[in-house]
Amino acid sequence: RKSELRLAHKTEFDLERAEWALPEEHSKMDTALVIPLSRQAVEMLRRQFARHPDATVAFPMQGALHTPMAASTLNRALSRIPLKIEHFTVHDLRRTAATNLAELEYDEAWIEKALNHNKKGVAGIYNRAKYATQRRDMLQAWADWLDGVKVARNEAQGAQQS
C-alpha cells in the first residue's frame, strides 16, 4: 500500500535477509507483516538508502530527511508516465499485480497475504498461515516477470527506431 511504503522507516528493512518488517502501526490492517523482497527491490532500496544516507525514513520528502514523502507524491509521479489508461493510480498497481499473479496461477491465499488482506469468516479465524516461502518465490517471480516486460518494451522501442 502506498501509505505503508510512504511511512516506512529504514530500520524496518533488513536488506541482507531481503525482508521488510511492516509494523502494525503503519499497516492499514493493523497487523504486522514480514514482506519478502525480491532481488530487484533490494537493489532499488540499496540505491535509495545510499542516495539519502542520513534519512530516517525510507522515502523522505525532498529536503526533509526525517519526513516521509507527501501522500500525493507517488500518484503525481505515476501521472507523468505516458499511459493509455485514464486515472491510473498507485493503488491500481495492487490490482494489476493481483490479477497477473492469479493469471500466472499463483494461489489466491498467497496473493491475498502478499496484499496484507485478512480473510473473513471461519477461514480467517482458523487459518493463520503466513505463506512466507511461497510469497517470497511468488514475489521474486513477479519482479522477474516485470523485468521481462521491460526488456520486451525496450526491444520493441529499439526495433521501431531502427
Q: Catalytic residue numbers?
A: 1, 28, 91, 94, 117, 126
Residues 141, 143: Cα–Cα separation, whole Å: 5
Q: Which residues lie closer than 8 Å to 89 by C-beta, 6 or more apart?
A: 75, 78
d(C-alpha 31, C-alpha 28), whole Å: 8
Q: Where are the beta strands (DSSP E) in the chain?
A: 13-14, 19-22, 33-36, 60-61, 64-68
